[in-house]
Amino acid sequence: MFVIRREPRNPLLSPQREHPWESLATFNPSVIREKEGWRMYYRALSNPVALVAPYAGQSTIGEAFSEDGIHFHSQHQVLVPSESWDAFGCEDPRATVFEGVTYLSYTALGGFPFSKDNIKVGIAVAKDGINFTTRHLVTPFNAKAFALFPERVGGKVMAILAVHTDEPPAEMCLVAADSVEDFWSPDFWKTWYQNWQSHKLPLKRDDKDHVEVGSIPILTEDGWLMLYSYIEHYFGGGERVFSVEAALLDRDDPSKIIGRTESLLVPEEIYEHYGVVPDIVFPTSTTFGDTDRLDIWYGAADTVCAKASVKIPDLLRALDPKRPARTFIRAEQNPILKAQGSSFESCLVFNPAAIDLKGSVYILYRAMDAVNTSTVGLAISKDGVTIDERLPQPIYAPREDFEAKLGSSTGNSGCEDPRIVRIDDTLYMTYTAYDGVHAPSGALTTISVDDFLARKFDRWSKPFLLTPEGVDDKDLALLPGKIDGNYLLYHRISSRICADLVPNLVSGKRVSRCIEIMGPRHGMWDGVKVGSAGPPIQVGDNWLMIYHGVSHHGKYRLGAALLDPSGTSVLARTADPVFEPLELYEKEGEIPNVVFSCGAIVRDDKIYLYYGGADKVIGVAVGSMSHILSALQ
């Protein structure tokens, strides 16, 4: 698991009205870390130039400097159009210090209107590291985003570039040469281009998608780490979605992909949503920060420069193909519970809650019978994995009209997806009440700890609905503690996790507010819907929330977020899922490709995560709390 953290002072560089050459946009930064600070090269966009391209702003390459990597100053132009092949603009620089010389590659615009015939790659050379005194046309064909590796690979000079970006099929390709000068040799490219598709990196998931070179690859202990732009539906078929992904390439043979992430950064902030071209995050550089940190430099909405960071060990671990289980390791005994008999749990058992009482874990789970009525069953485990006892009857069943079967005689109804918390000497169970006709609602019932342990399950309190009438509102979970004397209830409205403060839980008053906690991240693994899993777990003054996320493919996975002491502000959120369907019993079932948790317990440093697999069986997975908190804190 890993967390992407945006720099709080973003954007770091914005258009300057007093500088006409960068008055419209300053974006897509390429940063070199030097002894004295950070040198940033960036694309500067002016307003339309009447005598050159009256309908489009002109791009040049600017430079800025920062002593702390945050406050940049001394902006000035370092590259302006001067050749026939870049007369209409110099875009998207990528700077590499290679064998003591600074090379600044860029997209060269050689005509207007811009087209596949006049968009190519150029490169400028600064032997002193400062003054770019010579420049060369690199590709004789349509290409963009040329990134030179900072050192030789197997004795060869390596680069990666986007070929045919404006003339599909577009691909991201590797190129190797004996010397840097080969890269501006027409004869070299003539030979390479004859079989150019054999050099592509297979990173696209669909032919209508587009991948484009992002950062200069940097060498880590595990291989070459590269961030790149992934754009869904770039060539048609749906809404374009810009995101950032990462790939790890073999140190000695970069054509071998060791591992890759899904989207790890998508437009979420206001400066990423609004600008010259809205809803874009585009990675163009990475630098090593302090204390195992990787800084990710990117352009936002084709308007400003921004930065984010990630812990390198966490990212590399996620890219390691030998670690497919993510953060949680499944118990060898999985699935620990299956449907059995011909009674209340004859059809399915899934979506368990859990609570640790007097040395035993009580697993409350959703059970379905042959006519699809849901009740709550109970299993008990001393070690958290082995089932020592399983009660033959449900401990909770439908009692009210709002959970009675009103629709089809075999349609879904009943008490679904329980979550349970202890506050003082009372157990509070929230669940989804469904009658098969009206919208699912969130209900609450209570029982004393003593009565629960004595198995006096007839003493559950009369349930009542907590969620608004007529609203599809599910995934209820109480914070296991009060906030300024109030209970905090999490619930899901539509696709988002909301919360509301409830003065008491005996009045029967329904929640009326949606304090938004988190929503889907469009384009990421949780891009369609999110909902709370089990109740948050207290960690110091903060709260750890496990939540489920749904992708546009319908896959249910789990993520983690760290909430502040109030339980309402997200301090950190994992960029990747911490748990996902991998085993056959999670991929095949009533609903395929689902892991869905309603509860977890903590013993020492171990967190036991109880979950339903494919809405059919129940499993448990174990993770390290210190590992999870190290990534989130």
Residue bearing the bigger pLDDT, 92 or 47: 92
Q: List pLDDT tens digits, range 338-389.
A: 999 999 999 999 999 999 999 999 999 999 999 999 999 999 999 999 999 9
Integer Cα distance of 29 and 91 in angstroms? 11
Q: Which residue is associated with the tokens 């990173």?
A: 203
As a whole number of Å, the end-to-end CA separation of the chain is 12
Buried/exposed code over 14-42 (b: 16+ C-beta within 10 A; e: otherwise): bbeeeeebbbbbbbbbbbbeeeeebbbbb
| Cα separations in angstroms, 142 against 120, 158, 557, 606 | 5, 19, 40, 54
Residue 24 confidence (pLDDT) = 96
DSSP H stretches of helix in 6-67:
none
CATH superfamily, domain 329-632, is: Glycosyl hydrolase domain; family 43 (2.115.10.20)
| Cα separations in angstroms, 527 against 59, 160, 241, 262, 270 | 34, 30, 11, 12, 18
Instruction: List the structure tokens of 126.
Output: 């600064």
Instruction: List the structure tokens of 632.
Output: 């989130």
| Cα separations in angstroms, 79 against 95, 192, 465 | 12, 28, 65
| Cα separations in angstroms, 18 against 23, 46, 73, 458 | 7, 11, 14, 75
346 in helix, strand or coil? coil
Q: Stretch 98-120: mean pLDDT, rounded?
A: 94
In degrees, rounded to 5, the angle at the alpha carbon of residue 61 between the alpha carbons of residues 55 and 62 is 115
Length of the chain: 633
Peptide bond into 321 cis (omega under 30): no
What ranges do the domains of the chain cover?
Answer: 13-318, 329-632
Backbone angles phi, psi at 459, to 5 degrees: -100, 10
Q: Which residue is associated with the tokens 């007369």?
A: 87
- HSE at residue 115, side-chain half, CA atoms within 13 A, is 4
Residue 325 confidence (pLDDT) = 54
Confidence band (pLDDT; 50, 70, 90) for 88? Answer: very high
Residue 76 confidence (pLDDT) = 97
Q: Stretch 138-154: mean pLDDT, rounded?
A: 96
Question: Could you tell me if 245 and 4 are in contact, meaning their C-beta atoms sit under 8 angstroms apart?
Answer: no
Instruction: List the structure tokens of 507.
Output: 């009045």
Residue 326 confidence (pLDDT) = 65
**Amino acid (one-letter) located at 105:** S
Integer Cα distance of 574 and 431 in angstroms? 26
Integer Cα distance of 123 and 145 in angstroms? 11
Confidence band (pLDDT; 50, 70, 90) for 504? Answer: confident
Buried/exposed code over 420-430 (b: 16+ C-beta within 10 A; e: otherwise): bbbeeeebbbb
Give one DSSP letter per residue of 77-124, joined into a string.
Answer: EEE---SGGGTT-EEEEEEEEETTEEEEEEEEE-SSS--TTTEEEEEE
For residue 625, the surrounding DSSP H or E stretch is helix 625-632
Question: Could you tell me if 106 and 94 are in contact, meaning their C-beta atoms sit under 8 angstroms apart?
Answer: yes
Q: List pLDDT tens digits, range 25-79.
A: 999 999 999 999 999 999 999 987 666 656 668 899 999 999 999 999 999 999 9
**Amino acid (one-letter) located at 446:** T
Residue 575 confidence (pLDDT) = 96
Cβ neighbourhood burial of 495 (10 Å; 0-12, 13-18, 19+): middle
Residue 505 confidence (pLDDT) = 84
* Average pLDDT value over all residues in the chain: 94
Confidence band (pLDDT; 50, 70, 90) for 590? Answer: very high
Integer Cα distance of 512 and 505 in angstroms? 14
Beta strands per DSSP E along 216-256: 218-220, 223-232, 241-249
Integer Cα distance of 282 and 70 in angstroms? 19
43 in helix, strand or coil? strand
Integer Cα distance of 74 and 574 in angstroms? 36
Q: List pLDDT tens digits, range 285-326.
A: 999 988 899 999 999 999 999 999 999 999 999 999 887 556
For residue 626, the surrounding DSSP H or E stretch is helix 625-632
The answer to whether 13-318 and 329-632 have equal CATH topology is yes
Residue 324 confidence (pLDDT) = 57
Q: List pLDDT tens digits, range 522-573.
A: 999 999 999 999 999 999 999 999 999 999 889 999 999 999 999 999 999 9
CATH superfamily, domain 13-318, is: Glycosyl hydrolase domain; family 43 (2.115.10.20)
Integer Cα distance of 287 and 456 in angstroms? 61
Whether 179 shows a pLDDT value over 70: the answer reads yes
